[in-house]
Structure 1
Amino acid sequence: MFNIILHEPEIPANTGNIGRTCVATGAKLHLIGPLGFSLDEKQLKRAGLDYWKDLDVTVYDDFDDFMKKNPDAKIYMATTKAVHVYSEVQYEPDCFIMFGKESAGIPEDILLQYKDTAIRIPMIGDIRSLNLSNSVAIVLYEAVRQNNFSHMQLEGHLHHHSWSEAE
């Protein structure tokens, strides 16, 4: 339903966590190179647990390669430099939400092309940024919430008891 883009991710554990979040929400993951790690790296698989095999993931050489293969993509750019708050926009099914690399974010020359769809997570003071995997989870779950958690399991179940026993 949704698409998460990581532009030049550097930390395998973050990408593994994000991959797991994508599987849990039915989102596709798009990785734009160069990557700061190998896709067979142990940390990546450990963070993604046994979910990595279920992940719909595509790797691109660079941003131009991504745009050539996805020319009609509606992209929201998640950045601390944006003026719009992530919860103030309406996320359409099949839209793309892009996040930059951990050390530098999305390059400003790319951001300038997406001024109207640049979004930010509010923070206090001079905090540089949140952890990348946390940021993806915050924004992706807002998009999923806005779309009524479509195709998601909305109720949990106890293994050895029934909720009615609690009454």
Structure 2
Amino acid sequence: MTEEKEGLRIALYQPDIAGNTGTILRFAACMGLAVDIVEPAGFDLSDRNLKRAGMDYLEMAALTRHVDWQAFEERRRAEGRRLVLLSTRAAMPYADFSFSPRDTLLFGRESAGVPENVHEAADARLLIPMQPGARSLNIALSVAMAAGEAIRQLR
């Protein structure tokens, strides 16, 4: 898997579900987006569910693995990237935000989101508005919605 330094990026914080990560890698490969995975993941990255969901697109995916949050943050800051966190705790709707080509869109664990220190590190926190009583969307859908809006704005 290759590594890309330019353009919009998707980052997954300690993803839990191989199938979701595979779907996101497939989406990113098709859209020309790079993906960062902040480890540890809740599954082995050679998992067959990851491969099944990603199909033959995994070879096209521009993936960078980071051993932990600190390693990811050091790299992101060195590259001068803005960190945009998608969170159910945010107030600003994602469609009202002005995306930049140097943004990294960060998505938390399916089971627990991100810890407070990661939430605080974000330069912006965005919400995907939902109906009252709804807890959250599938992470792959959330990635597609937010990245799709960013791509629409930037292209």
Match of 1:45 among 43, 51, 60: 51
TM-score, length basis structure 1: 0.85
Unaligned runs of 5+ in 1: 149-167
Counterpart in the other structure of 1:22: 28
1:100-139 counterparts in 2 under 5 A?
A: 100-114=108-122, 117-139=124-146
**Does the CA-based 8 Å contact 1:85-1:122 persist in structure 2?**
yes
Query: 3-state SS of the aligned residue for 2:112?
Result: coil
Cα offsets for 1:63-95 (capped at 9, x unmatched): 111011221220100000001110111111131
4+ residue runs over 4 A deviation: none
Q: Distance in 2 between matches of 1:130 and 1:84?
A: 17
Unaligned runs of 5+ in 2: 1-6
Query: 3-state SS of the aligned residue for 1:5?
Result: strand
The size of the alignment, in residue pairs, is: 147
Determine which structure has more spread, i.e. the larger CA radius of gyration: 1
1:1-150 counterparts in 2 under 5 A?
A: 1-71=7-77, 72-114=80-122, 117-148=124-155
**Does the CA-based 8 Å contact 1:19-1:52 persist in structure 2?**
yes
Shift of 1:119: 0.2
Letter in 2 for 1:113: A
Query: 3-state SS of the aligned residue for 1:36?
Result: coil
TM-score, length basis structure 2: 0.91
Using the aligned pairs only, state the percent identity. Answer: 35
Query: 3-state SS of the aligned residue for 2:147?
Result: helix
Q: Please report the RMSD computed on the Cα atoms of aligned residues, expressed in angstroms.
A: 1.0
Counterpart in the other structure of 1:159: none
